[in-house]
Structure 1
Amino acid sequence: MPPIIKKLISYSTFILCFTFAFAPIKSIAQSRKTIAINQNWHFAKHQKAKSYTQLKYTLVNIPHTWNAFDVLDDEPGYYRGVGYYKKKLNLQPAWKDKKIYLDFGAANQETEVFLNGKKVGHHIGGYTGFTIALDHLKFDGKDELLVKVDNSHNDNIPPLTADFTFFGGLYRNVSLTIVDQAHFADQLYGTNGIYVHAENVSENNAIIKVDGKLLNETNIKQLLVNALLIDAKGNKVGEAKWLSASNEDISFQLPNIMVKNPVLWSPENPYRYQMITRLTDYKTGKVLDEVKTSVGLRYFSFDANKGFFLNGKSVKLIGASRHQDFAKMGNAAPSALQVRDVTLLKEMGGNFLRVAHYPQDQAVLDACDSLGILTSVEIPIVNEITESEAFYNNSKAMQLEMIKQNYNHASVIIWAYMNEVLLKMRYNKEPERKKTYLKSIENLAQQLEDLTRKTDPTRYTMMSNHGDVNGYTNAGLVKIPMIVGWNLYQGWYGGKSEDFGPNLDRIHAAMPDKPLIITEYGADVDPRIHSDEPIRFDKSLAYGMEYHQIYIKDILKRPFIAGAAAWNLSDFSSETRSETMPSVNNKGLLTLDRQPKNTYFLYKAHFSKQPYIKIGDGSWKLRGGTTTAQQVSVISNLDSIVLVVNGKKQVKKAVIDGVVGWKIDFKAGKNELEALAYKNGKVYKDNSTIEFILQPQAFLNATKSFNLLLGSQRQFIDDKNQIWLPSKAFEKNSWGAIGGEPFKIKNSSRQQYGSDKDIKGTLNDPIYQTQLVGLDAYELKVPKGKYQVTLHFAELMGNGIQSVLPYNLDSLIAEGKEVPPQRIFDVYLNGKLVIKALNIAAKYGVAHKVEQQFDCVITDDKGIRLDFKGIAGKPVLNALQVRRIK
Structure 2
Amino acid sequence: MLRLKKIKTNQQKLVLLLLIVLIAVNCFGQKTGRSVINLNANWSFQKGNSSSVSMVNIPHTWNAFDTMDDVPGYYRGIGIYKKKLVLKPEWKAKKLFLYFEGANQETEVYLNGKKIGSHIGGYTAFRFPLENLKFNGTDEVSVKVDNSYNENIAPLTADFTFFGGIYRSVSLEVKEPIHFEDNQYASKGIYIHANQVTKASAEVIVNGNLINSFANTELTILSTLTDAAGKKINEVKFSTTANASKVVAFQLPKIQVSNPILWSPENPYLYQATTQLLDKTGKVLDEVKTPVGLRFFSFDVEKGFFLNGLPYKLIGASRHQDFAGLGSAVSKSLQVKDVELLKDMGGNFLRIAHYPQDQSVLDACDSLGILASVEIPIVNEITETEAFYNNCKTMQLEMIKQNYNHPSIIIWAYMNEVLLRMKFSNEPERKLKYLSNIEKLAQSLEDLTRKTDPTRYTMMSNHGDVNGYIKAGLVKIPMLVGWNLYQGWYGGKSEDFGPSLDKIHQQVPDKPLLVTEFGADVDPRIHAFTPLKFDKSLEYGMLYHQIYIKDILKRPFVVGAAVWNLADFGSETREETMPHVNNKGLMTLDRKPKNTFYLYKAYLNTKPFLKIGNGNWNLRGGVSAANVITQNLQVISNTDTVELFVNGKTLGKKKVIDKITNWNVPFRNGKNDIKAVSFVKGNRIEDLTSITFNLKPEIFNNLTVPFKTLNVLLGAQRQFVDEDNQEVWLPNQIYKEGSWGSIGGEAFKPKNTSRQSYGSDKNIISTLNDPIYQTQLIGLDSYQLDVPRGKYEITLYFAELAGTGASTLPYNLDSLIATNKEIPEQRIFDVYLNDKQIIKNINLAANYGAANAVQKKFECVVADDKGIRLMFKGIKGKPVLNALQVKTIN
TM-score by length of structure 2 reads 0.94
**Alignment of 1:721 onto 2:726:** yes
Name the structure 1 match of 2:203: 207
Q: Which amino acid aligns with 2:142?
A: L
Name the structure 2 match of 1:268: 266
Residue 833 of structure 1: how far off its partner (Å):
1.3
**Alignment of 1:671 onto 2:672:** yes
Give the 5 Å matches for 1:604-623.
604-623=601-620
* Residues 488 and 809 of structure 1: CA distance in aligned 2, closer, same or farther (over 3 Å): closer
Name the structure 2 match of 1:30: 32
Q: Which amino acid aligns with 2:195?
A: E
For 1:611 and 1:649, how far apart are their aligned partners in 2? 21
For 1:504 and 1:430, how far apart are their aligned partners in 2? 32
Name the structure 2 match of 1:598: 595
* Residues 63 and 698 of structure 1: CA distance in aligned 2, closer, same or farther (over 3 Å): farther
Name the structure 1 match of 2:709: 705
SS in 1 for 2:824: coil
Task: Choose which of 767, 781, 787 in structure 1 pairs with 2:786.
Answer: 781
Task: Choose which of 768, 771, 775 in structure 2 pairs with 1:766.
Answer: 771
Name the structure 2 match of 1:289: 286
Determine if contact 2:198/2:308 at 8 Å carries over to the other structure. yes
Residue 811 of structure 1: how far off its partner (Å):
10
Name the structure 1 match of 2:227: 231
Residue 619 of structure 1: how far off its partner (Å):
2.3
Name the structure 2 match of 1:13: none
Alignment deviations for residues 847-882 of structure 1 (CA, whole Å, 9 cap, x no partner) = 000111111111221111111111111111100111
SS in 2 for 1:222: strand
Name the structure 1 match of 2:382: 385
Task: Choose which of 510, 513, 518 in structure 2 pairs with 1:513.
Answer: 510
**Alignment of 1:257 onto 2:255:** yes
Alignment deviations for residues 121-149 of structure 1 (CA, whole Å, 9 cap, x no partner) = 10000000011111111111110000000
Give the 5 Å matches for 1:85-100.
85-100=81-96
Name the structure 2 match of 1:866: 870
Name the structure 2 match of 1:522: 519
Q: Which amino acid aligns with 2:673?
A: E
Residue identity (%): 64
Residue 696 of structure 1: how far off its partner (Å):
3.2
For 1:632 and 1:303, how far apart are their aligned partners in 2? 41
Task: Choose which of 872, 877, 889 in structure 2 pairs with 1:885.
Answer: 889
Determine if contact 1:698/1:706 at 8 Å carries over to the other structure. no
Determine if contact 1:698/1:705 at 8 Å carries over to the other structure. no
For 2:494 and 2:287, how far apart are their aligned partners in 1? 54
Q: Which amino acid aligns with 2:275?
A: T
Determine if contact 1:799/1:817 at 8 Å carries over to the other structure. yes
For 2:79 and 2:263, how far apart are their aligned partners in 1? 43
TM-score by length of structure 1 reads 0.95
Name the structure 1 match of 2:63: 67
* Residues 704 and 165 of structure 1: CA distance in aligned 2, closer, same or farther (over 3 Å): farther
**Alignment of 1:857 onto 2:841:** no
Residue 728 of structure 1: how far off its partner (Å):
1.3
Name the structure 1 match of 2:845: 841
* Residues 207 and 808 of structure 1: CA distance in aligned 2, closer, same or farther (over 3 Å): closer
Task: Choose which of 64, 86, 100 in structure 2 pairs with 1:104.
Answer: 100
SS in 1 for 2:596: helix
Alignment deviations for residues 156-210 of structure 1 (CA, whole Å, 9 cap, x no partner) = 0000000000000000000011110000010211111000012211111112211
Q: Which amino acid aligns with 2:763?
A: D
Determine if contact 1:376/1:414 at 8 Å carries over to the other structure. yes
Determine if contact 1:578/1:803 at 8 Å carries over to the other structure. no
Residue 817 of structure 1: how far off its partner (Å):
2.9
Name the structure 2 match of 1:7: none
Name the structure 1 match of 2:440: 443
Residue 285 of structure 1: how far off its partner (Å):
1.4
* Residues 223 and 132 of structure 1: CA distance in aligned 2, closer, same or farther (over 3 Å): same
Name the structure 2 match of 1:277: 275
Residue 230 of structure 1: how far off its partner (Å):
1.1
Determine if contact 2:464/2:814 at 8 Å carries over to the other structure. no
**Alignment of 1:757 onto 2:794:** no
Determine if contact 1:576/1:805 at 8 Å carries over to the other structure. no
Q: Which amino acid aligns with 1:684?
A: I
Q: Which amino acid aligns with 2:803?
A: G
For 2:768 and 2:757, how far apart are their aligned partners in 1? 23
Determine if contact 1:127/1:359 at 8 Å carries over to the other structure. yes
Determine if contact 1:523/1:544 at 8 Å carries over to the other structure. yes
Residue 244 of structure 1: how far off its partner (Å):
2.0
Q: Which amino acid aligns with 1:736?
A: G
Name the structure 1 match of 2:114: 118
SS in 1 for 2:762: coil
Alignment deviations for residues 799-827 of structure 1 (CA, whole Å, 9 cap, x no partner) = 1115663349999738x434323211111
* Residues 808 and 623 of structure 1: CA distance in aligned 2, closer, same or farther (over 3 Å): farther
Task: Choose which of 155, 158, 181 in structure 2 pairs with 1:185.
Answer: 181
Q: Which amino acid aligns with 2:345?
A: M
For 1:856 and 1:828, how far apart are their aligned partners in 2? 12
Name the structure 2 match of 1:22: none
Determine if contact 1:31/1:179 at 8 Å carries over to the other structure. yes
For 2:572 and 2:52, how far apart are their aligned partners in 1? 27
SS in 2 for 1:652: strand
For 1:803 and 1:362, how far apart are their aligned partners in 2? 36
Alignment deviations for residues 27-70 of structure 1 (CA, whole Å, 9 cap, x no partner) = 9933110111100000000118xxxxxx4311000000000000
SS in 1 for 2:818: helix
For 1:265 and 1:811, how far apart are their aligned partners in 2? 45
For 2:561 and 2:778, how far apart are their aligned partners in 1? 42
Name the structure 1 match of 2:24: none
Name the structure 1 match of 2:413: 416
SS in 1 for 2:356: coil
For 1:633 and 1:804, how far apart are their aligned partners in 2? 32
**Alignment of 1:131 onto 2:127:** yes
SS in 2 for 1:827: strand
Name the structure 2 match of 1:462: 459
Determine if contact 1:307/1:314 at 8 Å carries over to the other structure. yes
Residue 233 of structure 1: how far off its partner (Å):
2.1
Name the structure 1 match of 2:315: 318
Q: What is the CA RMSD across the aligned residues, in angstroms?
A: 1.6
Determine if contact 2:790/2:888 at 8 Å carries over to the other structure. yes
Name the structure 2 match of 1:3: none
Task: Choose which of 738, 741, 744 in structure 1 pairs with 2:749.
Answer: 744
For 1:107 and 1:698, how far apart are their aligned partners in 2? 61
Greater CA deviation, 613-622 or 642-651? Answer: 613-622
Determine if contact 1:638/1:655 at 8 Å carries over to the other structure. yes
Residue 684 of structure 1: how far off its partner (Å):
0.2
Q: Which amino acid aligns with 2:770?
A: D
* Residues 511 and 28 of structure 1: CA distance in aligned 2, closer, same or farther (over 3 Å): farther
Greater CA deviation, 65-74 or 241-250? Answer: 241-250
Higher relative contact order (CA 8 A, sep 6+): 1
* Residues 435 and 811 of structure 1: CA distance in aligned 2, closer, same or farther (over 3 Å): closer
For 1:813 and 1:419, how far apart are their aligned partners in 2? 23
SS in 1 for 2:103: coil
Name the structure 1 match of 2:824: 820
Q: Please, which runs of 5 or more residues in structure 2 have no aligned partner?
A: 1-28
For 1:161 and 1:188, how far apart are their aligned partners in 2? 28
Task: Choose which of 797, 800, 805 in structure 1 pairs with 2:805.
Answer: 800
**Number of residue-to-residue matches in the alignment:** 852
Give the 5 Å matches for 1:560-599.
560-599=557-596
**Alignment of 1:56 onto 2:52:** yes
Alignment deviations for residues 328-358 of structure 1 (CA, whole Å, 9 cap, x no partner) = 0000010000000000000000000000000
Alignment deviations for residues 587-614 of structure 1 (CA, whole Å, 9 cap, x no partner) = 0000000000000011111111211111
For 2:596 and 2:638, how far apart are their aligned partners in 1? 14
